[in-house]
């Protein structure tokens, strides 16, 4: 179980970091390019 | 929706200037255009800030405001710098879509199959048009466009330029009607999906009962505790259900829940995915990830229970939670959509005031035509009890007209030849004929509606806090949910994975940025709408907020505190060589008749007051010859054989008149702020008139209430100090600034502002325009027809100071509601999220169920909208 806890903890904090970076860091500063405009 | 349309507006057309709906405000600033158009798919404050940012980043856009309550984006653009297609692209770039509208156009000249393609191409090239398809069989052209970005005349021109003729003018959908229809569609859609989800939720709940008994999540779940009695009752009533083996029961629940996920709740997942691709997270992200996680966990537990048991985890399912959450959120959105519809009801009510038909004289014959067809210059007959269809001037007949619907003033106003009448007001007893002077979009009512619409779409500065929070809200909540999962997994009791999953889902579900997004706009909509119903037109959220935080209110004297029309208040006749007394009725008539005969030829306002008074007494006008006026002092004339002089005491003394009988009376009048006017015939004093600008009936009560509300009330006037002090004394005003020219009034305001005071100026829109503009809040006191006073933040249709009290009270009530809403929305999340994460578990052993969380979430936004709707019952101190 200890290994599972370790994996979940690491993955969890990595996920938090990624979520905050993906949604909050403005595009252009090390962020992936915005997807191309669709439709219009 | 329209993303899949065959033709788009992107990159087409020379520029969006001519197509834009130019508001009156924007037109003032050369080169700036203001357009409003619907945005589809927004659900919360995060969506609003996302769309707003995307629009603001578009080159050429000066300012963008998005209103969640109306689903409208209002954008200020540099003229010609932005194509409508850029705006559409910006909206779609943010992960949303523009609302579209379709119009069916009858086209003449569509004869050959080859005509269709060029016409379609020409129309599709009009900026703001998303798609066009012509049908030769029916001679029609179907245009899908973004309302607000395309004007109908532009479409007609494009049809003509392509070589065809429009059979009938294209009718633009009424924006209010359009919004109502869109709202109805939304309500129907939500009701159908919510109903399906609710039925499935009940069935799934019943179906899950036996499973809960078989190694459920333990007694920590509040819901499980609550349903325990139900559980026993069910086991008694439907024992066969308990005989179904657990794996089969789970598969049954999975099948039952599928339509909820794939159809009823599909909008959450679609919107969440669309937002995710555009790096935006909103309400849908939370619901989508929350229910999605519960659904995936349950599906895995249903079809691969072995994997769970191998890892020492219980293969529990949460199908009932998924369907209940979706059902509750859909029902919440349904209630919210209904309530949001009511917040804009004021506009509908205003438009409902319009008369449907008008009785117009055409070629000397009275014919009844739809009110929309009345043209300027038409003569219109109005019978007792009928509504005045458009604005105009009475040409014959007389009546009293009830203008309460516009000004809030209950007493009908007398109308005779030459008086203005306003459309939508109600004729009471008499009949009259009037000439139309303003029709359609120019009428007072149409201006009021436009002003209210603009105000309702505006944002208050207080919203900025909510916007800032909303911008980071969803990513932070997702992070908190993940953190809760990790903590429960690492430190929670067994089965840790179950507790971790439940708290992860619950945190996502309970968080509600919608309440934050709705807190301000709904209150502003209801507040400004309620104001409009009482004749108080507020320009927007900023004005509302400023009006709620005032320290000083400056009142112009003439026309604001006083009636602005001098009147004869005193009439004295001589009693011996050095005494005078109030004139007898006979003396009164004689003095006025003589004075009026001279003053009829003068243009002085005091002279007009004397003539009016004489006319009011029904005195026959007499003719005077040899009129001679001395500017600002008086006049003389010959009345028959007698030389009459009317004027100030100094003027008459100069003429050699002995004013002995009136010497004391003249001083006494001046001390009471009356202007003394003497009348002499052949060098002998005949009478003394005291003239004053009477204080309006409501002024004293209004000033008293303003002071009770904690405001410092100051009178500013161009009049002399003596008169100003007398008026201030009579009305209870604290301070006086007299002898002020318009520039002086501005200086007074600046001085107060520099001392840190927030200042409102109440005055008429013309003379006081600079002061109105300089004040933190400019309040224009109108006469019922000056709606669009440019410099004013607030326009009072009733020419009564009591309406200013109503405006301040309404502003305070609205801001109070906004603060309550914001507090509630923040407190709800601040308290709810930790509880959902399990903060209470170590102390009370309580863990919230995701189902509870969804009910709380739905309730929180409904509560905010309902709180705003309470403003509809706002009752001012003065029910004028």
What is the H or E stretch that residue B675 is in? Answer: strand B675-681
User: Can you tell me the ipTM of this complex?
Assistant: 0.78
Give the integer Cα–Cα distance in Å for B510 and B848.
10
Q: Which residue is it, tokens 């349309």?
A: B5
What is the H or E stretch that residue B346 is in? Answer: helix B345-352
Say yes or no for a CB contact (<8 Å) between B3 and A15: no
Q: Which residues of B touch A5 (CB under 8 A)?
A: 489-490
pLDDT at residue B20 in the model: 36
Summarised one tens digit per residue, pLDDT across range A1-40 is 588 888 889 999 999 999 888 888 765 444 444 444 333 2
- Number of A/B CB contacts below 8 angstroms equals 65
Cα dihedral B791, B771, B672, B803 sign: positive
Residue B805 in tokens: 């009290």
| Cα R_g (chain A), whole angstroms | 16
Best of B489, B497, B513 to substitute, by most chain A Cβ atoms within 10 angstroms, is B489
Best of B275, B490, B494 to substitute, by most chain A Cβ atoms within 10 angstroms, is B490
Say yes or no for a CB contact (<8 Å) between A40 and B472: no
Say yes or no for a CB contact (<8 Å) between A34 and B4: no
Say yes or no for a CB contact (<8 Å) between A40 and B277: no
Catalytic residue among B378, B467, B556, B570: B556
Specify whether B556 is catalytic.
yes
Q: Which residues of A touch B484 (CB under 8 A)?
A: none
Fill in the DSSP letter of residue B20. S
Q: Which residues of B touch A4 (CB under 8 A)?
A: 311, 489
Say yes or no for a CB contact (<8 Å) between A40 and B88: yes
pLDDT at residue B29 in the model: 47
Q: Which residues of A touch B312 (CB under 8 A)?
A: 1
The residues with which B402 forms a beta bridge, in sequence order, are B426
Smallest Cβ–Cβ distance between A12 and the set B88, B278, B483 belongs to: B483
Give the integer Cα–Cα distance in Å for B77 and B62.
5
Give the integer Cα–Cα distance in Å for B822 and B462.
9
* Min Cα separation A28/chain B (Å): 12
**Strand arrangement, sheet containing B794-796:** B536-538, B794-796, B777-781, B759-763, B552-556, B712-716, B735-737
Residue B688 in tokens: 């003394």
* Min Cα separation A3/chain B (Å): 11
pLDDT at residue B549 in the model: 92
Q: Which residue is it, tokens 């139900």?
A: B230
Q: How far are the Cα atoms of B82, B370, B421, B462, B595 from residue B360, in angstroms, in the given order?
A: 44, 10, 16, 50, 44
> Which 3-state string (H, E, C) describes B762-819?
EECCCCCHHHHHHCCEEEEECCCCCCCCCCCCEEECCCCCHHHHHHHHHHHHHHHHHH
Give the integer Cα–Cα distance in Å for B692 and B676.
9
Fill in the DSSP letter of residue B387. B
pLDDT at residue B9 in the model: 35
Would you tell me how many other CB atoms lie within 10 Å of the CB of residue B332? 23
Report whether the peptide linkage leading into residue B495 is cis, meaning its omega lies within 30 degrees of zero.
yes
Give the integer Cα–Cα distance in Å for B117 and B135.
10
Q: How do strand B735-737 and strand B712-716 relate by DSSP bridges?
A: parallel
The whole-angstrom distance between residue B213's C-alpha and the CA centroid of its chain comes to: 54
Q: Give chain B's mean pLDDT.
A: 81
Interface of A with B (CB under 8 A): 1, 4-5, 8-9, 12-13, 15-16, 19-20, 22-24, 27, 31, 34-35, 37-40
- Show Cβ contacts of residue B326 under 8 Å, excluding neighbours closer than 6 positions: B197, B201, B260, B261, B264, B265, B268, B287, B291
Reduced to 3 states (helix: H, G, I; strand: E, B; else coil), residue A31 is coil
Residues of chain B with pLDDT under 70: 1-30, 45, 111, 113, 168-178, 212-228, 311-314, 408-410, 457, 631-632, 765-767, 783-790, 880
Beta carbons of B183 and B340 less than 8 angstroms apart: yes
- Show Cβ contacts of residue B42 under 8 Å, excluding neighbours closer than 6 positions: B48, B51, B66, B68, B71, B96
Residue B277 in tokens: 């691709």
Which pTM value belongs to this model? 0.70
Say yes or no for a CB contact (<8 Å) between A19 and B490: no
Reduced to 3 states (helix: H, G, I; strand: E, B; else coil), residue B165 is strand
Say yes or no for a CB contact (<8 Å) between A16 and B479: yes
């Amino acid at each position: 179980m200890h290994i599972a806890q370790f994996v979940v903890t690491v993955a969890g904090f990595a996920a938090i970091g990624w979520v905050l970076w993906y949604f909050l860091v403005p595009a252009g500063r090390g962020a992936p390019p915005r997807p191309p405009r669709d439709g219009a | 929706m329209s993303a899949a349309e065959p033709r788009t507006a992107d990159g087409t057309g020379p520029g969006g200037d001519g197509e834009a709906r130019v508001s009156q405000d924007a037109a003032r600033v050369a080169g700036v255009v203001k357009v409003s158009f619907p945005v589809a798919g927004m659900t919360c404050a995060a969506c609003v800030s996302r769309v707003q940012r995307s629009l603001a980043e578009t080159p050429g856009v000066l300012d963008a405001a998005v209103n969640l309550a109306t689903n409208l984006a209002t954008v200020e653009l540099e003229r010609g710098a932005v194509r409508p297609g850029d705006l559409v692209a910006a909206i779609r770039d943010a992960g949303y879509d523009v609302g579209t509208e379709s119009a069916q156009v009858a086209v003449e000249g569509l004869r050959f199959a080859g005509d269709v393609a060029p016409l379609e191409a020409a129309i599709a090239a009009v900026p703001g048009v998303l798609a066009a398809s012509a049908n030769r069989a029916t001679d029609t052209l179907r245009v899908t466009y973004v309302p607000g970005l395309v004007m109908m005349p532009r479409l007609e021109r494009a049809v003509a330029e392509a070589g065809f003729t429009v059979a009938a003018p294209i009718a633009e959908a009424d924006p209010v009607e359009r919004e109502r229809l869109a709202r109805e569609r939304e309500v129907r859609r939500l009701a159908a999906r919510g109903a399906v989800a609710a039925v499935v939720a009940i069935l799934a709940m019943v179906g899950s009962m036996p499973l809960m008994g078989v190694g459920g999540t333990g007694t920590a779940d509040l819901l499980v505790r609550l349903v325990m009695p139900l559980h026993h009752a069910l086991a008694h009533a439907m024992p066969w259900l308990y005989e179904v083996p657990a794996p089969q029961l789970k598969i049954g629940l999975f099948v039952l829940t599928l339509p909820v996920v794939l159809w009823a709740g599909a909008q959450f997942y679609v919107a969440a995915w669309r937002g995710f691709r555009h790096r935006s997270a909103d309400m849908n992200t939370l619901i989508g990830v929350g229910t999605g996680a519960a659904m995936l966990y349950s599906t895995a537990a249903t079809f691969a229970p072995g994997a769970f048991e191998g890892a020492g985890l219980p293969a529990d399912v949460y199908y009932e939670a998924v369907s209940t959450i979706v059902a509750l959120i859909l029902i919440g959105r349904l209630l919210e959509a209904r309530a949001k519809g009511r917040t804009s009801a004021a506009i509908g009510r205003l438009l409902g005031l319009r008369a449907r038909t008008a009785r117009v004289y055409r070629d000397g014959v009275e014919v009844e035509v739809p009110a929309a067809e009345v043209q300027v210059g038409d003569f219109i007959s109005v019978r007792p009890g009928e509504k005045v269809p458009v604005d105009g001037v009475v040409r014959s007949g007389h009546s009293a007209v009830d203008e309460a619907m516009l000004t809030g003033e209950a007493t009908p106003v007398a109308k005779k030849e030459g008086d203005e009448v306003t459309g939508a007001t109600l004729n009471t007893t008499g009949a009259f004929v009037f000439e139309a002077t303003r029709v359609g979009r120019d009428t007072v009512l149409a201006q009021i509606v436009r002003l209210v619409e603009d105000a309702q779409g505006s944002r208050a500065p207080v919203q900025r806090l909510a916007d800032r929070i909303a911008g980071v809200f969803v990513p932070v909540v997702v992070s908190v949910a993940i953190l809760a999962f990790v903590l429960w997994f690492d430190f929670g009791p067994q089965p840790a994975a179950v507790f971790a999953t439940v708290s992860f889902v619950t945190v996502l579900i309970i968080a509600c940025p919608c309440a934050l997004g709705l807190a301000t706009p709904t209150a502003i909509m209801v507040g400004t709408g309620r104001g409009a119903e009482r004749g108080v037109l507020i320009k927007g959220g900023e004005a509302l907020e400023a009006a709620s935080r005032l320290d000083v209110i400056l009142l112009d004297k003439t026309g604001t505190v006083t009636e602005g029309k001098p009147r004869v208040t005193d009439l004295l006749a001589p009693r011996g060589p050095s005494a005078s007394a109030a004139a007898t009725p006979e003396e009164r008539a004689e003095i006025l008749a003589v004075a009026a005969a001279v003053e009829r030829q003068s243009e002085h306002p005091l002279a007009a007051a004397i003539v009016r008074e004489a006319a009011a007494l029904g005195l026959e006008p007499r003719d005077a010859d040899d009129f001679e006026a001395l500017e600002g002092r008086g006049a003389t004339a010959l009345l028959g054989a007698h030389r009459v002089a009317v004027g100030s005491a100094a003027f008459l003394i100069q003429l050699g008149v002995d004013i002995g009988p009136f010497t004391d009376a003249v001083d006494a009048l001046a001390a009471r702020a009356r202007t003394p006017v003497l009348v002499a015939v052949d060098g002998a004093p005949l009478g003394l008139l005291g003239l004053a600008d009477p204080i309006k009936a409501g002024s004293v009560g209004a000033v008293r209430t303003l002071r009770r509300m904690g405001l410092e009330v100051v009178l500013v006037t161009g009049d002399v100090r003596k008169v100003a002090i007398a008026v201030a004394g009579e009305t209870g005003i604290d301070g006086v600034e007299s002898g002020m020219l318009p520039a002086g009034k501005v200086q007074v305001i600046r001085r107060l502002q520099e001392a840190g005071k927030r200042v409102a100026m109440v005055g008429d829109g013309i003379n006081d325009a600079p002061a109105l503009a300089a004040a933190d809040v400019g309040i224009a006191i109108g006469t019922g027809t000056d709606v669009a006073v440019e410099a004013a933040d607030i326009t009072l249709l009733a020419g009564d100071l009591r309406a200013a009290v109503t405006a301040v009270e309404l502003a305070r009530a609205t801001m109070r509601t906004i603060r309550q809403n914001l507090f509630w929305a923040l407190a709800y999340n601040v308290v709810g999220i930790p509880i959902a994460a399990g903060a209470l578990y170590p102390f009370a052993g309580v863990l919230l169920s995701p189902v509870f969380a969804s009910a709380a979430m739905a309730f929180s936004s409904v509560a905010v909208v309902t709180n705003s709707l309470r403003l509809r019952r706002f009752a001012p101190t003065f029910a004028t």
